[in-house]
Chain A
Amino acid sequence: MTTQPPQLNDRDLELISAYIDGQLSAEERREVERRLDNEANLRLAYEELRATVQVLRDLEPVRPPRSFTLDPANVALQRPPATRLGWGRLLQVAGVFAAVLVAAIGTLSVIGSLGSGAPASAPMVAAPTTAPASPLELRESAPTPERSDIAAAPATLDDGSGPVAPQARATVVATEVAALPDVAPQPTIVTTPAISSPGTVELARPKPPADSTPPATPPDLTLLLTLAVVALAAGGVLLWRRRKG
């Protein structure tokens, strides 16, 4: 009843498959056609494969059960991911930047204290004025980007339960760090008073993290550390919220 199915090698199978699709070069096509005229096996294999392809092409498409158009109301919430992710990234970058800055200043301070001492105070004054500004500005200018609904996201985020955590955490860290010099001074913090003027040492001690405004004197490493932690935590929270949502 059934004829013996022709066995083709892979090369011939590919040839006749591409021949069916008209995907052979003129030379290859002539060669295949010549062989089809002479080789019964190849001819049968070609007919079967062509019939199979025809069955596939005749297969009717299935109808989608519904339309997949996006609902503008939902998409308004969906759209921000790129922006929200950018936010998390921005804050993370800001945090890393601040951390690097702290490390750099610490290193400079150590070098400075090993050397003359006095000249090292210059970077200390310059750094705090610029460094705290960038993460702070980032946090505040954050909601501005392009759309009001995007802007609303970070804003509500800061009010919600999630964002409270980084703030609170930052404050705790800040107070702990501020208290440290009295009990067990850390190397980086010790170096700060060493190279700055006596006035700054007095100012640095009772400093709460938010009160960076008062005098123009540098807010020191504690504030930088706080800002770095806040930025990192905020970035983390934003990313976490994005993954969750």
Chain B
Amino acid sequence: MAGANAVANEELRLVESAQRGDIESFNALVRLYEGRVYNLCYRLLGDADSAADAAQDAFLSAYRHLRAFRGGSFRSWVLRIATNVCYDALRARQRRPVVSLDAAVETTSEESAPLQLADTAESPDEFALRRELARAIEAGLAQLPVDQRLVVVLCDLQGLTYEEIAEVTGANVGTIKSRLSRGRARLRDVLRQGELLPLRFRHEGEE
């Protein structure tokens, strides 16, 4: 608890310093959250190049609008900005479709998000399965309506609470529960179709 408070205080100090124009303080915040922001963009947009552009735009926008930040969770605030940037990019893509999300996933999933053997204990079979699962999930996410995709990514990939997701998306908790359950159900169907549900590889009650 004390550690969490110390982190929050440090974050607040950085935000205030950045608001006074200290770019290094802002960059310290960028380093804290760039992994999260990039991953959110990557999962929403489906390809590495668009995600990098969106993440950069999000941090630039955050810096420009830093004075509008009125306390609360900086993480939620910056993720919200990134979400808006991604929605804009998706809308622009719809108006002028250069490459479809499915195609983007197909072409980039292997080279942009290379999977490595997690540890030496992982067998080639396990590695192959993990890789197949990752590919199926990416394809499944790409098929979800963006509102559901966003909630699934924030909850299950980023580990945010429902309240934090509400801050990021502006939706109420009831809506979030609904989108989350439907998004998860669709992904379950994708895994089921690919006979990838780990249920069959696990015993009941195993984590």
Contact = CB atoms under 8 A, between A and B. Distances in A.
A95 B46 CA distance: 47
Interface in A53-75: 53-70, 72, 75
B185 A82 contact: no
A59 B137 CA distance: 9
Contacts of B178: 10, 14
B163 to A, nearest CB: 10
A141 interface: no
Dominant SS at the B interface?
A: helix
Given A2-B195, A49-B184, A56 B64 contact: no
Interface residues of B, number: 56
Report, as a range, how many residues of chain A touch the other chain. Answer: 35 or more
A13 interface: yes
B95 interface: no
Contacts of A64: 34-35, 38-39, 52, 55
A74 to B, nearest CB: 9
B75 interface: no
A16 B188 CA distance: 13
A195 B199 CA distance: 93
Contacts of B181: 10, 13-14, 16-18
Nearest to B63: A70
Contacts of B199: 47-48, 51
A68 B157 contact: no
Instruction: Count chain A CB atoms within 10 A of each CB in B38, B48, B67 and give the residue with the most.
Output: B38
B177 A18 contact: yes
Contacts of B55: 64, 68
Nearest to A43: B204
28 contacts: A10-B178, A14-B177, A14-B181, A48-B192, A51-B197, A51-B198, A54-B198, A55-B187, A56-B156, A57-B157, A57-B159, A60-B118, A61-B35, A62-B112, A65-B48, A66-B52, A67-B30, A68-B55, A68-B59, A70-B30, A72-B23, A72-B24, A75-B23, A75-B63, A79-B63, A79-B64, A81-B64, A82-B64
